[in-house]
């Protein structure tokens, strides 16, 4: 419990001014623009959009600038801003099979229709610091290769396994139920997979990464293979209330991961592969991959697996995945707890005093 404190207005104002000055840094250097952040720190922008759960690169870049590069603070700013906007409705479900690809790889099939497209990746860099960037050397344009008009569009890798019946079918009921929306309703346990995925899509990347890693090291048995990772742009369609037909209103960048996992089978099902799914705004490969592993681990009850590890415990995972909530609760400890602490202090003193009396009496 904390009790309201008064005063400190001037100090707080001055703190704001100091914060602004330090954010700006050396005035002899040119100021960074949101457009520059958007263009040149695209992966930071993508992370802020992904965990801020709001796709707007300009706002995410602005948030990063305002937060002096603190990603979690920038996510907070973006989440706060979104609460000021009205909700127009829901999109038509996006079709990731129609993604215009920048990148698409599979670790399970060497030759696949559409090919392996490395795209812009750090995977094959040597992680040596590039001192040329200190000097600001101009970057030559990337090479091009002739592509068919539909080169960007290709079906998913898992369809190959699906056709042979070697992977669990994707359940799709004819009713196509409206999924729960965690921005409108609280999380309830046990949570349907759609609710878990919404939670994971906005979850902290570091938290998901650690859980995913734990599942690989033996805390939950996911036996994963990266069936497919793709990054590119997807059209967003809405059905405006005044028109009644779908209209494509723009493109968003997305990263999708289809994880393939071993499954020994059960009384009802023959041995087959199972699926874990990850989808995130922007170029967020680590996030999408970690998400797909955690998604699969959380499916333990559905697949009749024993729940023994943190990554499988949905209440543990989903209640602690949000970095805004986590950061808020951890950092609220900085707020004045003077009265609270005084009472604790008083209590400890009284206990010690009682102890001393007891000892002297015995």
> According to CB under 8 A, which residues from 149 to 178 bind another protein?
149-153, 156, 158, 170-173, 176-178
Q: Tell me if 246 contacts another protein by CB under 8 A.
A: yes
Q: Residue 36 Cβ, how far from another protein at the closest point, in Å?
A: 18
**DSSP assignment, residue 33?**
P
Phi and psi torsions of 46, nearest 5°: -65, -40
Question: Binding to another protein (CB under 8 A): which residues in 339-358?
Answer: none
For tokens 């046990």, what's the residue? 190
Q: Tell me if 249 contacts another protein by CB under 8 A.
A: yes
* Near another protein by CB under 8 A: residue from 96, 108, 214, 319: 96
Which of 281, 283, 292 shows the shortest CA–CA distance to 197? Answer: 292
Instruction: For helices 205-216 and 285-297, give the axis angle rounded to 10 degrees.
Output: 50
Q: Are 75 and 324 in contact (CB under 8 A)?
A: yes
For tokens 């959380």, what's the residue? 298
* Near another protein by CB under 8 A: residue from 35, 247, 339, 345: 247
Q: Residue 329 Cβ, how far from another protein at the closest point, in Å?
A: 23
Q: Tell me if 86 contacts another protein by CB under 8 A.
A: yes
Q: Residue 43 Cβ, how far from another protein at the closest point, in Å?
A: 17
Q: Residue 237 Cβ, how far from another protein at the closest point, in Å?
A: 7
* Bridging pattern class, strands 224-238 and 274-281: unpaired
What does the alpha-carbon distance between residue 230 and residue 226 come to, in Å, rounded to a whole number? 11
Q: Residue 138 Cβ, how far from another protein at the closest point, in Å?
A: 17
Question: Binding to another protein (CB under 8 A): which residues in 283-322?
Answer: none
Size of the site for another protein (CB under 8 A): 88
Question: Binding to another protein (CB under 8 A): which residues in 24-63?
Answer: 49-50, 53-56, 58-59
Q: Tell me if 65 contacts another protein by CB under 8 A.
A: no
With 0-12 / 13-18 / 19 or more C-beta atoms within 10 angstroms meaning exposed / middle / buried, residue 109 is: middle
């Amino acid at each position: 419990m904390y009790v309201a404190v008064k005063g400190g207005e001037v100090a707080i104002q001055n703190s704001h001014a100091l914060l602004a000055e330090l954010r700006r840094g050396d005035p002899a250097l040119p100021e960074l623009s949101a457009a520059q952040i958007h263009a040149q720190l695209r992966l930071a922008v993508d992370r802020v959009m992904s965990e801020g759960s709001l796709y707007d690169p300009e706002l995410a870049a602005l948030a990063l600038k305002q937060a002096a590069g603190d990603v979690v603070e920038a996510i907070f700013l973006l989440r706060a801003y979104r609460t000021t906007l009205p909700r127009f409705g829901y999109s038509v479900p996006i079709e990731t099979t129609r993604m215009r690809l920048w990148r698409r790889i599979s670790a399970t099939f060497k030759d696949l229709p559409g090919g392996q497209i490395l795209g812009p990746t750090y995977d094959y860099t040597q992680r040596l610091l590039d001192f040329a960037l200190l000097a600001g050397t101009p970057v030559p344009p990337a090479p091009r290769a002739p592509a068919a008009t539909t080169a960007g569009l290709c079906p998913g890798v898992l369809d190959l396994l699906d056709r042979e019946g070697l992977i669990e079918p994707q359940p799709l009921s004819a009713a196509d139920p409206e999924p729960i929306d965690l921005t409108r309703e609280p999380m309830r346990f046990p949570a349907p997979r759609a609710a878990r995925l919404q939670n994971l899509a906005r979850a902290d990347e570091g938290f998901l990464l650690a859980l995913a890693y734990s599942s690989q090291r033996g805390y939950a048995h996911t036996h994963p293979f990266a069936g497919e990772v793709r990054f590119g742009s997807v059209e967003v369609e809405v059905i405006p209330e005044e028109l009644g037909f779908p209209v494509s209103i723009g493109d968003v960048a997305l990263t999708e991961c289809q994880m393939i996992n071993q499954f020994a089978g059960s009384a009802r099902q023959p041995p087959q592969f199972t699926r874990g799914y990850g989808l995130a705004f922007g170029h967020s490969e680590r996030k999408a991959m970690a998400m797909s592993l955690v998604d699969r681990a959380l499916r333990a009850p559905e697949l009749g697996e024993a729940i023994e590890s943190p990554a499988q415990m949905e209440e543990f995972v989903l209640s602690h995945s949000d970095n805004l909530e986590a950061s808020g609760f951890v950092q609220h400890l900085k707020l004045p707890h003077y009265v609270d602490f005084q009472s604790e202090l008083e209590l400890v003193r009284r206990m010690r005093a009682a102890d001393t009396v007891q000892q002297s009496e015995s």
